[in-house]
Amino acid sequence: MDQVLQLRHISYSYSSGNKALQDVSLSVNKGERIALMGANGSGKSSLFLVLTGIIMPNEGHYFLKGKSFRYCRRLRQELCKTIGFVFQDPEVQVVSNQVFEDVAFGLRNMRLSDEEVEYRTHQYLELTGILHLKDKLIHTLSYGQKKQVALAGVLAMEPEVILLDEPFAWLDYRQSKRLLTLLNQLTKMGKTLIVSTHDSEFANQWAQRAWVMKDGALEADLPTENLFNNAQLVDKLDIAPLVSKETPEVLSTH
């Protein structure tokens, strides 16, 4: 299997002293669907920031398509070409005042022709179900709508690897269904996808593999069925059991 990314022995502390990642080693193969799970504050978003090179640990190695890098500007430039990242909070991702311009922003930076920018922006606004918002000002949108704008902007650049940080949070039923269809389409196109989520049902149904963070460590890295078939492990890792696997006593309290 083709390996796309690998981290070896990565630790990271924020300047405030918060130790967010502790000796994390992992690898990602082309075309994989990985669910990143773990309690609030366990280090999921920090891991995404490290994988995208936005935060740079002092120690550890990054392998991109088999090539070893120390954390440096060159690595970040290489990662920009390979990885698209949809932040947990769209407020930190949107850069323009208007929806169409925001989705077009990355494409213009890629120096595509005006026709190509127009075509792809339109295409991805449609795919993400927000074409009707194209002329709106960003500040007039709801939080969920802003999340879709950020998603459209990242997908439009057609990156090989896509990291989505809690993409379903704040989406309504119809947009969640649309996103699930989109994730399946992206898989068919051969994209590598890592999605952070607190939704065990989604992780179980969609992902092949689960990474579970606990206190900054990658506590488990295993096929999703091995995780969700092991009630003790699920409990120990502080993630929600599947509803269908909850004990009758738990169900009867609902």
Ligand X SMILES: Nc1ncnc2c1ncn2[C@@H]1O[C@H](COP(=O)(O)OP(=O)(O)OP(=O)(O)O)[C@@H](O)[C@H]1O
Kindly list the residues in this chain that would bind ligand X in the complex (CB under 6 A).
14, 16, 18, 20, 38, 40-46, 88, 213
Q: Which helix (DSSP H) or strand (DSSP E) does residue 8 occupy?
A: strand 3-13
The HSE-up count of residue 121 (CA atoms within 13 Å, CB side) is 22
- Site pattern 67..96 for Mg ion (x: CB under 5 A): ---------------------x--------
Strand partners, 218: 213
Shortest reach from residue 11's CB to ligand X, in Å? 12
Closer to Mg ion at the Cβ: 45 or 121?
45
Encoded amino acid at 25, one letter: S
For helices 114-127 and 99-109, what crossing angle results, to 10°? 130
Choose the one of ligand X, Mg ion, none that binds residue 84, judging by a C-beta under 5 to 8 angstroms depending on kind.
Answer: none
Q: Which residues contact 58 (CB under 8 A, 6 or more apart)?
A: 71
- Residue 52 as a binder of Mg ion (CB under 5 A): the answer is no
Choose the one of ligand X, Mg ion, none that binds residue 46, judging by a C-beta under 5 to 8 angstroms depending on kind.
Answer: ligand X
Shortest reach from residue 107's CB to Mg ion, in Å? 27
Choose the one of ligand X, Mg ion, none that binds residue 18, judging by a C-beta under 5 to 8 angstroms depending on kind.
Answer: ligand X
Choose the one of ligand X, Mg ion, none that binds residue 43, judging by a C-beta under 5 to 8 angstroms depending on kind.
Answer: ligand X
Closer to ligand X at the Cβ: 14 or 143?
14
Distance CA 79, CA 100 (A): 25
Closer to ligand X at the Cβ: 54 or 222?
54
Q: Which stretch binds Mg ion (CB under 5 A): 38-46, 131-139, 209-217, 230-238?
A: 38-46
Count of chain residues binding Mg ion (CB under 5 A): 3
Closer to ligand X at the Cβ: 15 or 247?
15
Shortest reach from residue 45's CB to ligand X, in Å? 3
Q: Is the dihedral of CA 156, 54, 219, 171 positive or negative?
A: negative
Long-range CB contact pairs, 241-250, < 8 A, 24+: 241/200, 242/200, 242/201, 242/204, 243/201
Distance CA 4, CA 33 (A): 13
Residue 78 φ/ψ, nearest 5 degrees: -65, -40
> Which single residue is written with the structure tokens 């069925």?
225
Closer to ligand X at the Cβ: 11 or 96?
11
Other CB atoms within a 10 A radius of the CB of residue 254 amount to 6
Determine which residue in the list 42, 45, 192, 224 makes contact with Mg ion, applying CB under 5 A. 45
- DSSP letter assigned to residue 110: T
Binding site for Mg ion (CB under 5 A): 44-45, 88
